Chain A
Amino acid sequence: MGSEFVQLSLTPILIGVLAAVACALPGNFLLLRRQALIGDAISHVVLPGIVIAFLITGMVATWPMILGAAGAAVVAVVMIEAIKRLGRIEPGAAMGVTFTTLFAAGVLILEQTDTSSVHLDVQHALYGNLESLIWFDAVGWGSLFDLAALAGLPTELPRMAVVSVIVVVLLVLFWRPLKISTFDEGYAATIGIPVTVLGIGLVIVAAVAAVAAFDAVGSIIVIAMFICPPAAARLMTDRLERQIWWSVLFAATAAVAGYVLAGYGPQWLGRADSVSAAGMIATVSGLILAVACCVGPHRRAR
């Protein structure tokens, strides 16, 4: 049991938890700034980004894909701002125009290109492939101390870990200005905090987290984790510090419980195969939010 767990389930669970937490952390601020749907928009435009990166480089490699996706996220944010300002259109509609158009362009280019030889399709973009990120070289818990085996870890794990650390470090470094500008932008500006730069920086950090997570777990988890854990946490407390901790707890719980339910749940029901882990993680995060909506101590506006 132990060796099989380490080989098949340990890395997907770790990657799932890291991806969930990396998205939930910036999600807290996006939620409080009424920009929750930025995460939705970003995860839609990631598709054209990686498709174009694939067209340019001709291969499915990590870094070109991440760069392409990040570039697409920046294009989307600029386009939303341009439509909002130049056309004087409300933010929701500007966002709707932008992400559907870019997503449609991605779908069209993808259909027009021959990607049958590589693993790049819309389904993969939506669901990810968390289950396939197994650790072949592991033979048991002892492999955690075996350098040769560690070298065989799926590359998604160290990448996701690095991105998570970056997100946490940035959060700690910019905690005070971020907190002040989130709650009172006018006051933040008067005491000399560059609120515009900070706002754009937040969106970029969110995009980086989304892109890194997207590659491993697909866009469903990304959208769900940007919104559900912070939203549930918001109903638990009035203090931002506690809200962050709650959201991390919820995100990690959803990742672990979702993975386990997807992998073993069907067996408990007497069925042979497993279901999508990404979808189940999103579902569990929704259940957590539903419970918080019903019993969360701070669920109502005062």
Chain B
Amino acid sequence: MSALTQALTLGAGYNAALVTVGAALLGGAAGSVGTFMFLRKRALVSDALAHSTLPGIAIAFMVMVALGGDGRNLPGLLAGSAISAAIGLVAVDLITRHTRLAQDAAIGAVLSVFFGFGVVCLTAIQTMTAGRQAGLETFLLGSTAGMLYSDALLIAASAALCVAGVFILRRPMTIVAFDAGFAETSGISVRAVDFAMTSLVLAVTVVGLKLVGLVLIVALLIIPPVAARFWSERSERVMLLAAAFGAASGYVGAAVSATAPALPTGALIVLTAFGFFAVSILFSPHRGVLAQIVMRRRTSVRVHRRQGLLALAKDEPIYDRMTLAVLLREGLVRPDGVMTEAGEAQAAHASRDEARWRVAAALFEPAALPVRGDPLIPIDGLFTDDQIAVIDAHLAGAKGA
């Protein structure tokens, strides 16, 4: 069995298996919470939050050392990171609400300043207890190398808690993310739900620090929801799919990174998530790039066919190559440009349709037209038989005069 299949089937050691399962749970929780942030157009708030964990990690380390403990105690470091991330979040909120600066400026300011202050603290630690700092830098980019069993267990268990939290709160969060005004009138406190949502994001970020790192954890909150958005217009399906993408990214990324030393966990998880995104933007059935190209091509064929038929009906020559090609391919004209029988029938139909549309547009109020301004749609199915009769009567009258 190769190292990769071994890792993918959780056979690469106890710690690695725990980390892989933990990363999958974390990805699932991040994908679903991230969907709500994405739908509420707050995707990058989590970036500010993630970067502002750094001073908390460093200060927690200093405090624990000062109290005579082990500075690298993971629960302690994560508690510190949660506190400073919460302060960063409050700062973003205060700046956005009480000054005229926009949210993006508040996010950028908080993330850079907190991160800068965190670096100051890190360098202070470097001089304080030389050599004992090892490990804090892994919070920048994530690393599972040399992780203790208790750490792996803590991450897997907290990730499971995050998933449970999302599951319990999924209904109110969906309603608020989709329509905050409606949520308020139906008795849901938007503030409370927003608070819960942000707390879940905070929890996911803190749990993911060791795995993914604070620079990249935001990717797990943004990329899976954006990828999932391509596949459905229903917020619940987007959320489930985002959770699935996130979980798969976490699982595959963590497993692959366990196979060799120079494969950073965070980067691999993010790149796997991007793989899902790339497939989604290219190949998803309605919003995908490929589907849109096909759709545009179909519309253009319809327009050319119609214009060609109208020209044939009026015995006008056709010069446009695309038009000729469309008519030829569908057997409406012969290679020498003369109409076939099928072509004649369709040309007559098209010109009658066109004439009827013109009368209909003049006869009825624009608002009463079933489809505004798209004369490519056959008119018969859209109007009632009575209306068609009126239109035809006008047509006959116009001809007689």
Residues of A participating in the B interface, judged by any CB pair closer than 8 Å? 31, 34-37, 39-40, 44, 83, 86-90, 92-97, 100-101, 103-105, 107-108, 111-112, 122-123, 126-127, 220-221, 223-224, 226-228, 231, 234-235, 262, 266, 271-276, 278-283, 285-286, 289, 293, 296, 298-301
* A-chain residues with CB within 8 Å of residue B115 when the two chains form the complex: 220, 223, 279, 282
A34 touching B109 by the CB < 8 A rule? no
B287 touching A88 by the CB < 8 A rule? yes
A-B contact pairs, 19 of them (CB 8 A): A37-B44, A87-B281, A101-B277, A107-B266, A108-B264, A122-B140, A123-B140, A220-B112, A221-B116, A231-B109, A271-B127, A273-B127, A280-B116, A280-B120, A282-B115, A286-B113, A286-B116, A293-B94, A299-B99
Q: Given A100-B223, A104-B268, list of 5 further CB < 8 A pairs?
A: A103-B216, A105-B267, A220-B115, A276-B119, A299-B98
Residue in contact with A101 in the complex, picked from B43, B99, B105, B274, CB distance below 8 Å: B274
Query: How far is B266's CA from A101's CA once the two chains are assembled, in angstroms?
Result: 11
* A-chain residues with CB within 8 Å of residue B118 when the two chains form the complex: 279
Residue in contact with B219 in the complex, picked from A100, A108, A227, CB distance below 8 Å: A100
Residue in contact with A92 in the complex, picked from B104, B120, B223, CB distance below 8 Å: B104
* B-chain residues with CB within 8 Å of residue A276 when the two chains form the complex: 119-120, 122-123
Query: How far is B43's CA from A159's CA once the two chains are assembled, in angstroms?
Result: 36
Closest A residue, CB atoms, query B125: A275
B100 touching A298 by the CB < 8 A rule? yes
Known interface pairs A220-B119, A231-B105, A279-B120; A89-B137 also in contact (CB < 8 Å): no
Residue in contact with A228 in the complex, picked from B99, B112, B117, B271, CB distance below 8 Å: B112
Residues of B participating in the A interface, judged by any CB pair closer than 8 Å? 38, 41, 43-44, 47, 94-95, 98-102, 104-105, 107-109, 111-120, 122-124, 127, 137, 140-141, 215-216, 218-219, 222-223, 225-226, 229-230, 262-264, 266-268, 270-271, 274, 277, 281, 287, 289, 292
Closest A residue, CB atoms, query B108: A227
Q: What is the CB-to-nearest-CB distance from A225 to chain B, in angstroms, rounded to a whole number?
A: 8
B41 touching A281 by the CB < 8 A rule? no
B117 touching A101 by the CB < 8 A rule? no
B222 touching A97 by the CB < 8 A rule? yes
Residue in contact with B223 in the complex, picked from A86, A97, A111, A227, CB distance below 8 Å: A97
Known interface pairs A101-B274, A105-B267, A279-B116; A89-B226 also in contact (CB < 8 Å): yes
Closest B residue, CB atoms, query A122: B141
A95 touching B44 by the CB < 8 A rule? yes
Closest B residue, CB atoms, query A301: B100
* B-chain residues with CB within 8 Å of residue A293 when the two chains form the complex: 94-95, 98-99, 101
Residue in contact with B117 in the complex, picked from A87, A227, A279, CB distance below 8 Å: A279
Known interface pairs A39-B108, A89-B229, A223-B112; A96-B119 also in contact (CB < 8 Å): no
Query: How far is B221's CA from A92's CA once the two chains are assembled, in angstroms?
Result: 12
Known interface pairs A92-B104, A235-B101; A105-B116 also in contact (CB < 8 Å): no
A227 touching B109 by the CB < 8 A rule? yes
Query: How far is B122's CA from A289's CA once the two chains are assembled, in angstroms?
Result: 23
Residue in contact with B105 in the complex, picked from A31, A272, A278, CB distance below 8 Å: A31
Known interface pairs A87-B281, A275-B123; A286-B117 also in contact (CB < 8 Å): yes
Q: Which of A226, A235, A266, A275 has the most CB of B within 10 A?
A: A275
* A-chain residues with CB within 8 Å of residue B109 when the two chains form the complex: 224, 227-228, 231, 286, 289
Q: What is the CB-to-nearest-CB distance from B121 to chain A, in angstroms, rounded to a whole number?
A: 8
Chain A interface main SS type: helix
A227 touching B112 by the CB < 8 A rule? yes
A34 touching B104 by the CB < 8 A rule? yes
* A-chain residues with CB within 8 Å of residue B141 when the two chains form the complex: 107, 122
Query: How far is B115's CA from A279's CA once the two chains are assembled, in angstroms?
Result: 8
Closest A residue, CB atoms, query B41: A90
Known interface pairs A276-B122, A279-B116; A36-B267 also in contact (CB < 8 Å): no
Known interface pairs A224-B116, A278-B119; A93-B100 also in contact (CB < 8 Å): no
Query: How far is B126's CA from A233's CA once the two chains are assembled, in angstroms?
Result: 35
Closest A residue, CB atoms, query B37: A93
Known interface pairs A92-B43, A100-B219, A122-B141; A37-B104 also in contact (CB < 8 Å): yes
A96 touching B264 by the CB < 8 A rule? no
A107 touching B226 by the CB < 8 A rule? no
* B-chain residues with CB within 8 Å of residue A266 when the two chains form the complex: 124, 127
Query: How far is B288's CA from A86's CA once the two chains are assembled, in angstroms?
Result: 8
Query: How far is B124's CA from A276's CA once the two chains are assembled, in angstroms?
Result: 8
Closest B residue, CB atoms, query A113: B262
Residue in contact with A107 in the complex, picked from B218, B267, B277, CB distance below 8 Å: B267
* B-chain residues with CB within 8 Å of residue A275 when the two chains form the complex: 120, 123-124, 127
